[in-house]
Structure 1
Amino acid sequence: MLSSKSSRARFKRPEFRSAPASVGPEQVIRKLVAQSRTSGRLNLSNRSLTAIPNALWDDVAESTQKVDLSFDRREAADAYWWEVVDLTRLTIADNMLEDLDPRVGMFEGLTVLDIHNNVISRLPEEIGALISLSILNVSGNTLTSLPAGVFALPIIELNLANNKFSELPVSIGDFKRLKTLNVSNNKLISLPTSLNQLTTLTTLNLSGNELELLGDFSSLLHLSDLEVADNRLARLFTAAENSLKLLQRLDLRRNQLTSLAPEGETIKFPALRELYVSQNTITKLGDGILAESPHLQILDVGYNKLTEFPMEILGLKELKRLDITNNSIGKLPPELGLLEGIDAFLFTGNPLRGMPLGSTSKILRTLRDKIADAPSPTIQSHLSPPGSPGRRPITPSTQEAASRTVDLSQRSLAQLDSSCFSELSWTPSTLVLHHNAFTRIPEAVYDLAYGLTTLVLNHNQVTEFPVKSLPNLQILNLASNFLASLPSSPDFPALRELNVNHNRIASLPPRLPFPQLETFLASANAIDRIDPNTFRNLQHLYVLELADNNIAHIPPELGLCTRLRILTLGGNSFRVPRRQILDKGTDAVLTYLRDRIPT
């Protein structure tokens, strides 16, 4: 048996002391290098380095000099890289490197190389040996070219922004897996035709160059985000007809455009959601783009030379934000008030008279009131049982008929018979039933199944999701009801926006069966866990709100949903990511999560 004295000696409480004052930056770097041998990740950003530290190459130094800085991770001091784990991520950003050491080619397991914001003027040919490299960030240097070996690498994301490229090599088309290409803020005058060979590209940033024409992009079938701001574009493409079927965002600000498309030119962007063309010299929008972009939600044409309101805008039924600031428009058409989905309308700096001050809704209402009402069929009193508050004739106004909208909100309705729409001469596409007393989806809704695109049922007492197919429904608002679950059946193939905020949903299905879903709002429910597979098949999802639930853990794989533009997670019980990360925004959260996916 051990004596109490020897026991105390053996199990003596460790003393916690700070690192010796003599420990310098070089020793700290050695410690980081040693730790990276077990993590595969090394971050030496912002350390005033002029070269990659010798500790990265010198496997003898770690065995002859030991430093203890009380880091949590145990050091593998005498191990070689190949005896522990491959280095997969190397970040040496925000330093003063003038050259990249050719020995970097030794790390064949490297998947991420980030050397942005240095003063590197050329990359070594040895970089072509990084056969696993998928992300290369060399932005903020002084590069004018890339070594030939780079173009054979399996790169998915390439950032060349803020360098000195005056041209892109023809070899740029050799990237077979490239999804994101950023060449903004260089000195490009033209683009090689081989750029059209990047058929996997989804994001392309060409802003801040000297381009006068884009050329042929017809093969970029997966392109969803195109930025070409701050160039010299007078027109977009060389061909008279171009189509980018998946393009959702187009930024053309601060160019030399006089119209969106020349007379007789058709540019089809059927999936376009956001179009920014402010600070050009546009005198006429034309229908070359707008007529072929029915789902446009954000249109910014501010600071141009428009003298009349572009009537083509009236066909954009899904528009949510419209900016015509600082043009010379003297009059707004009353029909603009029919675009009731607009929640932000900016028009200052135009010589408009008689426009009221106030909210967007007030302005739109003022415009609607200028439309003369005309006789319209009456919806007969089949709305609720006799004697109920909701039983009275309802006559749609002219503006409701024009927009094919039936608004039966705030009428204390509990039922809606199938015959209530029988005398309408038009088929409703939008049905507004919020603030009533429905406990289930009214049967009359299913009679409109093939024409209905928008159904608004928030603030009712609905306990179940629609049980029958609504094949053309695009917007469904079921917020503030009593829903406990969501379906797993594929009965809503066109649904783009689903709002189930403020319900009683405790869990989500393994996969949401809405292939076209772009916006999913499920805040203020009782969701306690999320499975990243729930969202993985949603290729168009860009808004995901899960705030104010009971979620205890955020899976790192959620970071793979890279199309997300808005992700809200606050008000849950998880501790990671921390609040400081959440406050940095969606991109920071997704990056944080991806960095924690086990390799």
Structure 2
Amino acid sequence: MASGMKSRIPRGQQATPKGPSGRLGKLNPIFQKQTSAMEASQLSPLIVKQARKSGKLNLSGKSLTTVPERVWTLDSLDELEIKSLEMRISDSARDEEDSKWWDHEPLTNLDISNNCITSISPSIKYAAALTTLMLQHNSLCTLPNEIGQLQRLKILNLSHNKLTDLPEGVFGLKELRQLNLSFNHLEDLSESIGDLNMLEKLDLSHNRLTVLSPGIGFLTHLTHLMATHNQIADVPPDVGNLRVLRELDLSNNEIPSLPLLGELRKLEIFRAEHNNITDLPDFTGCASIHEVHLSGNCIAELSETELEALEQVRVLCLRDNKLEVIPESVTCLKNLIRLDVGNNGIKDLPACLSLLPHLSTLTLDGNPLRTIRTDVIKGGTTRVLKVLRGQLSNDLSPSMNQNSGLPGMNAQPWPNKYNMKSSRSLNLGMRQITEVPDEVFEEAVQAEVYNVDLCKNLLTQVPSGVTLVAELLTELNLSNNKLTTLPTTLTACKRLQYLEVSQNLLTDLPPNFDAFEQLREINFSFNRFEAVPACLYGLPKLEILMCRDNKIKEIDAVGLGSIPRLATLDLSNNDISSVPPQLGLIRLHCLELAGNSFKVPRQNILSKGTPSILSYLRDRLPK
């Protein structure tokens, strides 16, 4: 300080230094790095007490960078707890019921997702009772080999991390049922994956894989295999060994061809959209196949043999390929409900398409059609099929009647239980019936049917006998009738997976339809709905929602976003005036919006397909 100048600081008081130990260091900023002590404090005595009582510990979203070491030894007492226990014993104190250390539940469920954890301690081996371990949405680059000592682990979620490889210990988890490795940096998957022989669900999506490991062929209990958004160019024939596989998704890869899939007798859903596939895969032997999605490939031709193998398919998506002709052998797809051949090079449609008894959605936009006027195509499927029926030559008309299943003068219009037993289905479609006696459904119960088809009749209400087969029913088709309401008693069909109620007079669904926890697909197109029924929001397994050609005015993006597995959404030909940008946040495989009154997105965006539409909507989200 210059001489002659007096300090303004009172005596006995020093200036506060600027630094960690000074005034500024005592500030409590909103954003600060957590110390080990702070992170350990997240595991308070109360949380420990609750975890020991329930066997579950939730540390999700706590901004942790490391896992407190105490987590791995939660089943044992620490030093303070031992001393406290000794004091209580010496004082002859009685433990309360909820503090008896010998009565604690072992830690079986641990959720430390949505943190900033970069590594896991080898001490994880001490949490040997774990059956569920949630580590998704962290920053893990490696895993300790000791994770393999969790021999009771059944569910392991490692999605949304930075893993480049897996330790061999992971492949020693013999009880593992579900393994989620999506959104990581995996470039290779060891053949040791085949050692997880109890695995039922495997998700490898959004990685950097170039080859699908042959070891996957040894996963004989696998029911769901997801490997989307990789760089896979080779699918080994070993995939054909997955005899109980129900869903296979290989979309968004670089696959040029697929091996024989005929041994996949349980396969229900096949997706290989946006690849380089040039030929329709051979599905001969896939007796359960219901959905085939091959949009965005290079398929130029459909052979009769290939189509005959898809006799059971209900949904066939071949959008954005190189097709120029739809062969007349398409009539062998007698169960087809939805056919999407948009954005191909098709110039003519075979009139025999109108012979398909269940076809309710035919998407043709983006083709250079010459025999069908543009205004007819915009009029929707019903109008297109009507025009095609008018083009049928006289010699095909008797064939149509013959194949339609109309009883005519048949003395026995109702199927007997022996016929139903062989097909496990009750098929009463296109009989012009107004009611079905309960006796028919009683015989259906004895035949153990799981499929009831009542389409194209004159029903004004759902036959009460449907509830008699409720315990087995998984598929119900009520399309093309005169239904104005659906009964609340339908929810007795707890196993229902597919519900077809298109082309009726419905305006809403009963609110108790949220009880359909197994429902995978519902089609209520060509009705009078003014909104998507709220009872469908949140359904855990709903994947396909068809609601075109109604009077829907608004899109509830929040409600639709609450359907966790929604993949296909058709809202075309409604009265929608605006499209909320939040719709772009839903991970949809197929989105149809054409034929509404909104001005954005424009037609040039809609014509580019689902990925472009969703990207456009995301770009419009508020920053």
TM-score (norm 2): 0.63
3-state SS, counterpart of residue 158 of structure 1: strand
Q: 95-104 vs 219-228, which deviates more? A: 95-104
Aligned partner of 1:349 in structure 2 is: 366
Aligned partner of 2:51 in structure 1 is: 36
State the alpha-carbon separation in 2 of the partners of residues 81 and 320 from structure 1.
60
| Deviation for aligned residue 1:297 | 1.0
Q: 1:212-245: CA deviations, max 9, x gaps?
A: 22112232100010011111111101x6x74311
Pair 1:226 & 2:248 matched: yes
Pair 1:486 & 2:467 matched: yes
State the alpha-carbon separation in 1 of the partners of residues 283 and 327 from structure 2.
17
State the alpha-carbon separation in 1 of the partners of residues 69 and 162 from structure 2.
24
Residues 345 and 521 of structure 1: CA distance in aligned 2, closer, same or farther (over 3 Å) = closer
Matches within 5 A, 1:372-451: 372-374=393-395, 397-398=397-398, 400-401=400-401, 403-406=403-406, 420-421=409-410, 444-446=413-415, 450=419
Q: 189-198 vs 113-122, which deviates more? A: 189-198
3-state SS, counterpart of residue 445 of structure 1: coil
State the alpha-carbon separation in 1 of the partners of residues 428 and 39 from structure 2.
62
| Deviation for aligned residue 1:155 | 0.3
Aligned partner of 2:345 in structure 1 is: 328
Letter in 2 for 1:420: M
State the alpha-carbon separation in 2 of the partners of residues 530 and 119 from structure 1.
38
| Deviation for aligned residue 1:47 | 2.3
Q: 1:345-388: CA deviations, max 9, x gaps?
A: 2111111133313121111111111113459xxxxxxxxxxxxx
Pair 1:497 & 2:480 matched: no
Q: Is the 8 A contact 1:462 1:481 kept in 2?
A: no
Letter in 2 for 1:406: L
Letter in 1 for 2:333: L
Letter in 2 for 1:87: L
Pair 1:52 & 2:67 matched: yes
Pair 1:101 & 2:85 matched: no
State the alpha-carbon separation in 2 of the partners of residues 482 and 319 from structure 1.
24
Q: 2:160 aligns with which of 123, 140, 150?
A: 140
Aligned partner of 1:279 in structure 2 is: 296
| Deviation for aligned residue 1:139 | 1.2
State the alpha-carbon separation in 2 of the partners of residues 280 and 544 from structure 1.
27
Aligned partner of 1:198 in structure 2 is: 219
3-state SS, counterpart of residue 421 of structure 1: coil
Aligned partner of 1:290 in structure 2 is: 307
| Deviation for aligned residue 1:336 | 0.9
| Deviation for aligned residue 1:474 | 4.3
Residues 213 and 485 of structure 1: CA distance in aligned 2, closer, same or farther (over 3 Å) = closer
Q: Is the 8 A contact 1:173 1:194 kept in 2?
A: yes
Q: Is the 8 A contact 1:322 1:346 kept in 2?
A: yes
Pair 1:149 & 2:133 matched: no
Residues 303 and 177 of structure 1: CA distance in aligned 2, closer, same or farther (over 3 Å) = same
| Deviation for aligned residue 1:110 | 1.0
Letter in 1 for 2:403: S
Aligned partner of 1:584 in structure 2 is: 562
State the alpha-carbon separation in 2 of the partners of residues 405 and 483 from structure 1.
23
Aligned residue pairs, count: 460
Q: Is the 8 A contact 2:289 2:312 kept in 1?
A: yes
| Deviation for aligned residue 1:269 | 2.1
Letter in 2 for 1:316: L
| Deviation for aligned residue 1:335 | 0.9
Q: Is the 8 A contact 1:507 1:527 kept in 2?
A: yes
Q: 1:12-51: CA deviations, max 9, x gaps?
A: xxxxxxxxxxxx9875552444422222222222222101
Q: 2:428 aligns with which of 455, 461, 464?
A: 455
Aligned partner of 2:498 in structure 1 is: 519
| Deviation for aligned residue 1:151 | 2.0
State the alpha-carbon separation in 1 of the partners of residues 51 and 427 from structure 2.
53
State the alpha-carbon separation in 2 of the partners of residues 274 and 62 from structure 1.
60
Q: 1:465-494: CA deviations, max 9, x gaps?
A: 51564668943337714627733699xx99
Aligned partner of 2:603 in structure 1 is: none
Q: 1:416-468: CA deviations, max 9, x gaps?
A: xxx8236xxxxxxxxxxxxxxxxxxxx63247973996214899455625156
Aligned partner of 1:555 in structure 2 is: none
Indicate the structure with greater helix content: 2
3-state SS, counterpart of residue 37 of structure 1: helix
Aligned partner of 1:120 in structure 2 is: 140
Q: 1:163 aligns with which of 184, 190, 207?
A: 184
Letter in 1 for 2:413: A
Where does structure 1 lack aligned partners over 5 or more consecutive residues?
A: 1-23, 65-75, 376-396, 408-418, 423-442, 536-540, 546-558, 568-579, 589-599
| Deviation for aligned residue 1:168 | 1.4
| Deviation for aligned residue 1:283 | 1.1
3-state SS, counterpart of residue 250 of structure 1: strand
3-state SS, counterpart of residue 406 of structure 2: strand
| Deviation for aligned residue 1:309 | 2.2
Q: 1:124-153: CA deviations, max 9, x gaps?
A: 122122121100011111222222232232
Aligned partner of 2:453 in structure 1 is: 476
Letter in 2 for 1:252: A
Residues 142 and 221 of structure 1: CA distance in aligned 2, closer, same or farther (over 3 Å) = same
Q: 1:295-337: CA deviations, max 9, x gaps?
A: 1111111111112224443321111111111111111111111
| Deviation for aligned residue 1:530 | 8.6
Q: Is the 8 A contact 2:118 2:140 kept in 1?
A: yes
| Deviation for aligned residue 1:528 | 12
Q: 1:372-417: CA deviations, max 9, x gaps?
A: 3459xxxxxxxxxxxxxxxxxxxxx54632533328xxxxxxxxxx
3-state SS, counterpart of residue 275 of structure 1: strand
Q: Is the 8 A contact 2:316 2:338 kept in 1?
A: yes
Letter in 2 for 1:248: E
TM-score (norm 1): 0.66
| Deviation for aligned residue 1:508 | 4.6
3-state SS, counterpart of residue 137 of structure 2: coil
Q: Is the 8 A contact 1:400 1:406 kept in 2?
A: no
